[in-house]
Structure 1
Amino acid sequence: MRADCIGGSSINVNRAYTDSVSNSAPKGGTEVKSDSGAASTPVDAFQSSDLTVGDDGNVRFILSFSKDAKASDTTAFLKAQEKSGSTISNNLPLINGCSVDVKPENVDNMLKNLPVGTQIAIDRPLAFDNPTIMKSAEPGAAANGQSKVPADIADALIGIDEVWDMGYTGKGQTIAIIDSGIYPHPDLEGKITGWVDMQEGTLKPIDTYGHGTHVAGIAAGSGAKSAGVHKGVAPDANVVGVRISNVSEAIKGIQWVIENKDRLGIGVINMSLGDFAMRSYKDDPWAQAAEKAMEAGLVVCVAAGNDGPSERNISTPGIHPDIITVGALDDNGTLDRSDDKVADFSSRGPTNIDGINKPDLVAPGVDIYGPLAPEAGIDNESLPHIGKDYVAISGTSMATPMVAGVAACLKQANPNLTHKDVKEILVKSCDNYLDEPKYVQGAGLINAKKALELALTWDTSHDIEALAKNAPKNEAASSVEAKDAAPSDEGFLMA
């Protein structure tokens, strides 16, 4: 998924993105330029940034208060903002912050009065355009004289079919899909075991855009509508849908997953989306929220982004050094590895601010078939289809759920694996055969069979001790109320 930034400088005027998609201001939005006086504000150079005003007439920001900030100061600041007409739209205790909707004429005043140490970012809405069209992948046809269809090629390249043969299909595992939603496609029937809609509060799974449905199917679809041909990497895993429409909802969604992981059995998070990185991961609200998820024992897989082939454009939260950041391989529709390359669109490292080598690895991401939601906004008649049930799309969004699915299979094989274990296993077991630097391909192409072999013998005794010692206390941030951190349990659809 992809959305665009307007302006930007050291204050992180961000460009949210959704894979295979790009466009500018939200529909109906208008542009306004802040003329703030600058030097007196707690953040630098914001006065020259172009801000997008939404349909409600507001500019939405994400604020993350310093851990050293006094609760009385932040409370007084927020009350003053509300008095001036601003609205606290989402409380985000996971990052000790909130999102706030500000009238354009009040932006300067807000900036001048921010508590010392506050991090600020634009809360950009996710916006969509047509998917990137790479090439025609005809379903069921041989690729360059081979007997394999496109789905078989991706499966064979990563070795997942051999993992299935060994009895590991993700059974008993659950993957949280933080995305545009999930439509209950036949391939996902009985597999959506939890649901929350951060965007509109719907009580049943929906996906008007179709991106999240496609991603969920790649990760864990049963392949029911294709007699198992187009099934997911972890076909016996379940999924939990977390529907979002902007960055603050993504952060809120991560918090919801952390709070509900034990009840719903969630072990893996997939985020095939991100935001243009304008600051260190240490100061980036989305990256910091993802860090909390890893600390809570969740395996976190994130798309690198679709801004290649230029360098230094890895998206957040994939800029975090510990996250599993996934790039896209172009297999050219063949099993012959000599024609493989990192897809031109796949974002390259190092990370923009911290200079960290990313992505961590790559997985097939060109012309990947997945379930098609009815009347999905992502659909395009130029894309390869199988009837009305499947569509082939390209992007790091498609590569990421392959890795999340493998992670689910590894967790099935060795339930005590931590995020750190899974990442180390995946990186150590990659096939490094591409003539590309590390900041382009990471450790190489994911190898599911080699990863499984490592996982089965991996010593997790030290991890169990560390988890017991460092278990998160899940304390709400003192300066922001946590009462609106997540919807009630009525937001779930339990299978």
Structure 2
Amino acid sequence: MKRYQSKLDPVISSKLKSSSKGQVPVIIRFKSNNMKTYNKIAFNMSDKVKYNLPVVRGLACKMDIDEINMISKDPNIEYISFDSKVFALMDIASKSVSVDFPVEQGFSGNDVTVAVIDTGVAPHSDFTKPNNRIIGFKDFINDKSTPYDDNGHGTHVCGIIAANGYSSNGKYSGIAPEANILAVKALDESGSGNTSDIVSAIFIKIRPSKL
């Protein structure tokens, strides 16, 4: 039993020891990119799979403890981790990252696009005037096509990165005030989401934003 335990992260192990009931969100990682093995397991679990995560050679799904215990014995499985919640928390901003320094060195972010995976982005005038720099938006939570932010954290982060100070006559601007924003909403209105949401959001095709 112990050799299989090494494939389980501590949260999963504790749930297994406690005989926890109900399904557990997990990320299953494979030892290699062997598509035959990958497809076989994915097919057998097709009704459970939330995401295919090729960037980490894995699958995100929900399984009960007995299923996790059984699949951990498969020699093709490298590791099974708990698909934990991640949270967006307001913290430090412009001064703590010396936002003025890059601009003073002549770097404005012109012709640079920054992808921000967070709670979304509000079409604030600091991003949309005098020209719209929110060039793409993807919503994993509510599947909306128009940029929005029902939490505020994503807009705050985008502001630190690329606000141009339009609404404050230049008083409050970001590190790269001419950069474009490609916003991905992978956290909900409470600022939370799963690890698999974030991993899946890294490799996606972005639709043009509609403002």
Output the TM-score relative to the length of structure 2. 0.76
TM-superposed deviation, 1:492: 3.5
Aligned equivalent of 1:172: 111
- Describe the SS at the equivalent of 2:49: strand
Counterpart of 1:126, as a letter, is V
Which aligned pairs between 1:127-142 and structure 2 lie closer than 5 A?
127=87, 131=90
Q: What is the match of residue 187 of structure 1?
A: 126
Alignment of 1:244-393 (within 5 A): 244=186, 245-256=193-204
| TM-score using structure 1 length | 0.35
- Give the aligned partner of residue 88 of structure 1: 49
CA contact (8 A) 2:120 2:183 kept: yes
> Is this contact kept in 2: 1:204–1:492, CA < 8 A?
no
Larger RCO, structure (CA 8 Å, separation 6 or more): 2
Contact 2:120 2:154 in 1 (8 A): yes
Return the structure number with greater strand share.
2
C-alpha displacement of 1:72? 3.1
The change in CA–CA distance for 1:162 and 1:127 in structure 2 (over 3 A counts) is closer
Contact 1:42–1:117 (CA<8 Å) still a contact in 2?
Answer: no
Distance 1:494 1:50, change over 3 A: same
Pick the aligned partner of 1:126 from 62, 70, 86.
Answer: 86
Structure 2 SS opposite 1:228? coil
Distance 1:251 1:68, change over 3 A: closer
What 5-or-longer segments of structure 2 have no aligned partner?
17-21, 187-192
SS in 1 for 2:45: helix
The whole-number CA distance in structure 2 between the counterparts of 1:95 and 1:220 is 30
RMSD: 3.2
Alpha-carbon displacement from aligned partner over 1:280-323 (angstroms, at most 9, x marks no partner) = xxxxxxxxxxxxxxxxxxxxxxxxxxxxxxxxxxxxxxxxxxxx
CA change 1:186–1:109 in 2 (3 A) is same
Q: Distance in 2 between matches of 1:39 and 1:118?
A: 12
| Secondary structure of residue in 1 paired with 2:148 | coil
State the shift of 1:42 in Å: 6.4
Give distance in 1, aligned partners of 2:30 and 2:202: 18
SS at match of 2:36: helix
- Displacement of 1:232 in angstroms is 1.0
Q: Report how many aligned residue pairs link the two structures.
A: 196
Query: d(CA) in 2 for partners of 1:237 and 1:48?
Result: 45
1:218, distance to aligned residue in structure 2 (A) = 0.8
Q: List runs of 5+ in structure 1 lacking aligned partners.
A: 1-36, 52-56, 138-149, 261-488
Q: Does the residue aligned with 1:120 lie in a helix, a strand or coil?
A: strand
Structure-1 residue corresponding to 2:208: 492
Query: For residue 119 of structure 1, what is the amino acid of its counterpart?
Result: Y
Residues 221 and 232, structure 1, Cα contact 8 Å, conserved in 2 = yes
> In structure 2, do the counterparts of structure 1 residues 171 and 185 end up closer, same or farther at CA, with 3 Å as the change threshold?
same
